[in-house]
Amino acid sequence: MSIARVRLEEPPTAIRPTELADAAAQGRLRAANRHHTEPWDPIRDTSFYSESGQRLELDLDRRAWASGTAYAFAVLDLDAGERLVGRVALSNVVRGPWQSANLGYWISADAGGRGHATRAVRLVVRFAFEHAGLHRVQPAIIPRNARSVAVARHVGFRLEGHAKRYLRINGTWEDHDIYALTVEDWERIPPTM
- Whether the per-residue pLDDT at 146 is higher than 70: the answer is yes
- Whether the per-residue pLDDT at 193 is higher than 70: the answer is no
Domains contained in the chain, CATH given: 8-188 (3.40.630.30)
pTM of the model: 0.96
Kindly give the residue spans of alpha helices, DSSP state H, lying in 33-115. Answer: 34-37, 51-67
Q: Per-residue pLDDT tens for 67-111?
A: 999 999 999 999 999 999 999 999 999 999 999 999 999 999 999
Nearest alpha-carbon partner for 27 in 121, 112, 108, 120: 108
Q: Per-residue pLDDT tens for 31-69?
A: 999 999 999 999 999 999 999 999 999 999 999 999 999
187 pLDDT tier (thresholds 50, 70, 90) = very high
Cβ–Cβ < 8 Å for 53, 34: no
- Whether the per-residue pLDDT at 190 is higher than 90: the answer is no
As a whole number of angstroms, the distance between CA 8 and CA 79 comes to 15
Q: Per-residue pLDDT tens for 103-135?
A: 999 999 999 999 999 999 999 999 999 999 999
Pairing of strands 136-141, 100-107: parallel
